[in-house]
Structure 1
Amino acid sequence: MYNCRKKCRKRNGILDILNNIKNNAIEHPNRIAIIDQENSLTYEELETKSNHLASYLKQEFGCDNTPIVVFGHKSPFMLICFLACVKSGHSYCPIDISTPKPRVESILHTIENPIVLAVEELECNINDIKVVNRITIEKVIDSKMNEITEECRVAGEDIFYIIFTSGSTGQPKGVQITANCLNHYLEWSIHLGNDYDKKKGKVFLNQAPFSFDLSVMDLYTSFACGGTLWCLNKETQVSYAKLMESLGQSQVSVWVSTPSFADICLTDNKFNQDLMPDLELFLFCGEILTNQTVKRLKERFPKAIIVNTYGPTESTVAVTEVIVTEELNEAESPLPVGRSRTGTWIEIRKPDGTLAQENEKGEIILIGDTVSCGYYRKPDLTEKAFFKCNKNGVEYRGYRTGDKGYLKQGMLYYCGRIDLQIKLHGYRIELEDIEWNMQKLSDISNVVVLPNEKDGKVKSLTAFVSYRKEVDQPFKVSQQIKKQLKEFLPDYMIPKKIIFLDQIPLTNNGKADRKALEGMM
């Protein structure tokens, strides 16, 4: 593996992302750091403008690591705000404009007396909120305010960012990621799939909103490599014509997205190596990467490397990797999610807490130097999910993921969420198990299986299918699919009803939107 000690700027022995950005501004001042459909920023502009805003934030709000909410979408102003927060000694909490108003208010209520940098107009009914609007932000970043000193900035075990994820109670919970967690992650991510030298100065694709932790993979890996971040806004992503036009102009070398977003792109025949001749690397995270998706990408982009990764928000984006070759894609179904990064240990625990054997399924437990320090102002949830333990004489944090999986020869295989397990007619069924097997059928490009409940009991299963062929006779095609599924599944696991859709709806994060599908049942 390439040694980045001389190439990547380090501080206290580990990569330091703020130092990297500063040196990119010195060495490549005119290189574009980020570009969206309307605006762009050079590294020099990003460094200077974020310093001015950081000085303002310190002057107005001190530097005590209290979180500052950044509200907006894919604007370069968002990144100026992120960096200004951490340079002034504050963690930042991104909220995308697509977030429903009640959820925004719930997050603001959790933070208490929140400070908000509103890149877009914010409407909410929370008292004691301090809003710095876009007009003020623009005035400050173009001012000649005093430079901010490095002593103020977030470092070590200070919280760098807080990303709110869905909670089982219906209330979002804020995952706190420290500066050390992020920097340890980046030391690994700059080598994902290919060496740092091959990523240096290249264009990275940003698909996910900044309020989703997948964006950390493209945003900060790009900055660590002195690259350019090409942002796809929401409007572009919902239009095939605009999406293909943007991808064709992007010169993207490193693709970062959920597999579902790649599946959507694959429905357009223009999505291939001719459209994106510079594309060298696919990095996938956030959900299951299927064999069919890999096969189609290999056909369209024969020169590109495809990497599968796994990791929850609580472990700083991802902690495993595997390059999916044609040989691996032929040999393994479902695909493995890879081996753990240096600094991470994976254990599989049975329900009684004991270690599972090789190939035995259990809960995936993650231990290492990128594990979150817990949920913001949720000590009860933190105590339930997180713990501390020693590895090689060093204390690390651990996290109980709630995911099922098993290890085979050091490789992790993900088997779905424990909470996506249901009971039907006395049989315990994993919904993702059915989905994996349905995707073995060549004409099914994507599928989501949901339970039909009545009086608190599951009565049957419904499969929502994105089909590659035109479906003129849904009943007949459904019967054919059910007949084919009998080769892989017992009768009780075969969905009673199959609904055909042009494409599976996605959440703002690029994952299958199960709640939207529930409304179609």
Structure 2
Amino acid sequence: MRFDFNRCDFADAQAGADAIAVVDAQGALSWGALRAATEAWEQAAVAMGARAGEPLVISGHKEAAFLVAMLGCLRLGIPFVPVDVINPPERIARIGDLVRAGLRYDAQGQAFVPASGDPALLDEQALAYIMFTSGSTGDPKGVQIGRESVALFAGWIRDCLNLGAAPVFMDQMLFSFDFSLFNWVGALELGGTCVLCPRETIAQRDAFVSYLAATRISVWASTPSFVRQQLFNPDFDHAHLPDLRVFVFGAESLTPAMAEELWQRFPQVRIVNSYGPTEATCSTTWVEIDPALRAAAPNPFPIGRAKPYAEVFIENGEINIVGDHVMRGYLNRPDLNATRMFTRNGKRGYRSGDLGEIDAQGLVTFRGRIDDQIKLHGYRIELAEIDAAIAALPGARAGATVALRRPDGAIVRLIGFVEPAVAGPAGLQPLPDGLVDWKHTLGRHLPPYMIPSELVACHRFPTTSTDKADRKQLERLYLEARLSKNPEPQA
């Protein structure tokens, strides 16, 4: 059995009903049980007044009930709005008001509760979901994704990635983070298993590896930052996870140092790098790190070529994305739609705000965010370029850069952070001996104005809720260390 995202319904029901479809911290659901649970959820939702075209908020964490609700919404034609309970109740309520959802389904309590007091059908028809991202106005902004976009995404996983029969996906990303779509859509489209990994399980290092081993995960998709956290565990290797055969990365740059460390732990594993904003249904480009690309070892690795249904081009240094997988626009934000969206050859287009380059082979390389571009002493600087250079230092696993500013916003100087490959105490620490000559080493790759004035070691970079390196937290740690009475980290 599997879930067909073209029809948004279960398919091949005559086979494999007893196979495991979803695992969470409470247990496992077979494909037959998943279908029965989805049908029961649909009956309850309709009885509560849910209707096609009116959004429904789903709140929770990594429960099977959350996944059941999303499938039920797809079958009923109800656009779902996933929100993790990591968000404060006020934000969850605000999202319900913004989408004018009549209902919110509490996946942890498995109960329907009222959402907006003014529910309404959406202007956009046949949406699969609305996912909220941070908004510059203080209100989150809703990204509207059509059902056709999800079907295209599922088809790419099925037809292009060669993941084998009934693969088992590790899914630790929040359902409200679009990268999670890869795991549950991929697992269900291919008739495999989606292993949901809640925060509480991940926090217990040994229990997490045991959980993954017991469920026999074969596909791991995450940010590089999340994998770097696992590399501190010596048991994160092929001997303890013998079924793991594919890593898929996205949302952050992938460095050769990171890939090589993975290959040391998992010698036969495949590594796929991908890229795509929420506004383009999780991913738009992809590339497998084959032997030739591994030998070339560009830092960072390219994010790949456009998928069969996508077009990517660079305009004024910015990555532009075109195709039916592009969002239907931001919810109730005609101002943003006017500046971020366009039409090209009859297809929707999106100006990503990401900087990139395309080589003669069509490979795109990510070069940072337009909003991560700073100006220091008259020079335009991409923080991502400095990050990559720090990550390439001897004994480094990752790098990050923070621009310190005065109260008036003027940039004072750059502070670099390096995450050493060798484990150490948490927080900011003196640099290891091998990095004594770090300025000279960076000077081989960066002009003088891009070299940070100080480099600090930080074991286990703090991360955001979407498992990306958190520059704001690094800056806070640095400033607290500078203001404390403790000895300052050595430069």
Q: Same fold (TM over 0.5)?
A: yes
Local SS of the residue matching 1:201: coil
2:468 is the counterpart of 1:511: yes
Q: In the alignment, which of 205, 222, 235 is matched to residue 257 of structure 1? A: 222
The within-5 A match list for 1:463-478 is 463-469=416-422, 470=424, 473-474=430-431
Could you tell me which runs of 5 or more consecutive residues in structure 1 were left unpaired when the two chains were aligned: 1-6, 131-153, 351-361
Shift of 1:489: 1.4
Conserved? CA contact 1:292–1:442, under 8 Å = no
2:51 is the counterpart of 1:96: no
Q: Percent identity?
A: 32
2:412 corresponding residue in structure 1: 459
2:487 corresponding residue in structure 1: none
2:449 is the counterpart of 1:492: yes
Which digits, 9 at most, give the CA deviation of each residue in 1:379-401, with x for residues without a partner?
Answer: 221222112221xxxx2111110
Local SS of the residue matching 1:287: coil
Conserved? CA contact 2:2–2:12, under 8 Å = no
Q: Distance in 2 between matches of 1:473 and 1:185?
A: 45
2:305 is the counterpart of 1:339: yes
Shift of 1:237: 1.8
Q: In the alignment, which of 305, 308, 311 is matched to residue 276 of structure 2? A: 311
Conserved? CA contact 2:175–2:181, under 8 Å = yes
Local SS of the residue matching 2:8: helix
Shift of 1:340: 0.7
State the one-letter code of the partner of 2:309. Answer: G
Q: Distance in 1 between matches of 2:114 and 2:166?
A: 44
Local SS of the residue matching 1:252: coil
1:135 corresponding residue in structure 2: none
Q: Distance in 2 between matches of 1:303 and 1:513?
A: 31
State the one-letter code of the partner of 2:338. Answer: E
Conserved? CA contact 1:95–1:104, under 8 Å = yes
Local SS of the residue matching 2:218: strand
CA RMSD of aligned residues (A): 2.5
Conserved? CA contact 1:157–1:180, under 8 Å = no
Q: Distance in 2 between matches of 1:448 and 1:17?
A: 43
Q: Distance in 2 between matches of 1:323 and 1:126?
A: 43
TM-score normalized by the length of structure 2: 0.89
Which digits, 9 at most, give the CA deviation of each residue in 1:239-260, with x for residues without a partner?
Answer: 3222222222231111111111
CA gap of 1:512–1:388, structure 2 versus 1, over 3 A, is same
Conserved? CA contact 1:105–1:125, under 8 Å = no
2:154 is the counterpart of 1:201: no
The within-5 A match list for 1:137-286 is 158-194=126-162, 198=164, 200-286=165-251
Conserved? CA contact 1:337–1:411, under 8 Å = yes
Shift of 1:23: 2.0
2:53 corresponding residue in structure 1: 65
TM-score normalized by the length of structure 1: 0.84
Q: In the alignment, which of 21, 35, 38 is matched to residue 50 of structure 1? A: 38
Could you tell me which runs of 5 or more consecutive residues in structure 2 were left unpaired when the two chains were aligned: 480-491
Which digits, 9 at most, give the CA deviation of each residue in 1:13-57, with x for residues without a partner?
Answer: xx62623xx125442111111101212211112112211221232
1:329 corresponding residue in structure 2: 294
CA gap of 1:62–1:8, structure 2 versus 1, over 3 A, is closer
State the one-letter code of the partner of 1:188. Answer: W
1:137 corresponding residue in structure 2: none
The within-5 A match list for 1:1-80 is 16=6, 18-19=8-9, 22-80=10-68
2:352 is the counterpart of 1:386: no
Conserved? CA contact 2:430–2:457, under 8 Å = no
CA gap of 1:129–1:208, structure 2 versus 1, over 3 A, is farther
Conserved? CA contact 1:309–1:319, under 8 Å = yes
Q: Distance in 1 between matches of 2:97 and 2:413?
A: 39
Name which of structure 1's ranges 380-389 and 73-82 shifts more when overlaid on structure 2: 380-389
Q: Distance in 1 between matches of 2:461 and 2:3?
A: 42
Q: Distance in 1 between matches of 2:436 and 2:202?
A: 34
2:351 corresponding residue in structure 1: 400
Local SS of the residue matching 2:312: strand
Shift of 1:8: 8.4
Q: Distance in 2 between matches of 1:80 and 1:73?
A: 13
